[in-house]
Amino acid sequence: MAEKLSREEMRELVTRIYRAKGTGEAAAADIALFRANCVHPSGIDIMFWPELVPELAGRVPTVEEVVDLAMKGGGNDL
Q: Does 1 have pLDDT greater than 90?
A: no
Any domain includes 44: yes
Neighbouring CB atoms inside 10 A of 14's CB total 23
pLDDT band at residue 57 using 50, 70 and 90 as cut-offs: confident
Any domain includes 65: yes
Any domain includes 78: no
Any domain includes 20: yes
Any domain includes 15: yes
Structural domain for 59, as ranges: 7-72
The whole-angstrom separation of Cα 18 and Cα 54 is: 21
Give residue-wise pLDDT tens across range 5-53. Answer: 999 999 999 999 998 866 788 899 999 999 999 999 999 999 999 999 9
Any domain includes 77: no
- The stretch 47-64 carries a mean pLDDT of 93
pLDDT band at residue 63 using 50, 70 and 90 as cut-offs: very high
Any domain includes 14: yes
Any domain includes 1: no
53 CB-side CA count, 13 A:
26
Which stretches within the chain are classed as H helix?
Answer: 7-18, 24-37, 45-48, 63-72
Q: 3-state DSSP call for residue 35?
A: helix
Number of compact structural domains in the chain: 1
Size of the chain in residues: 78
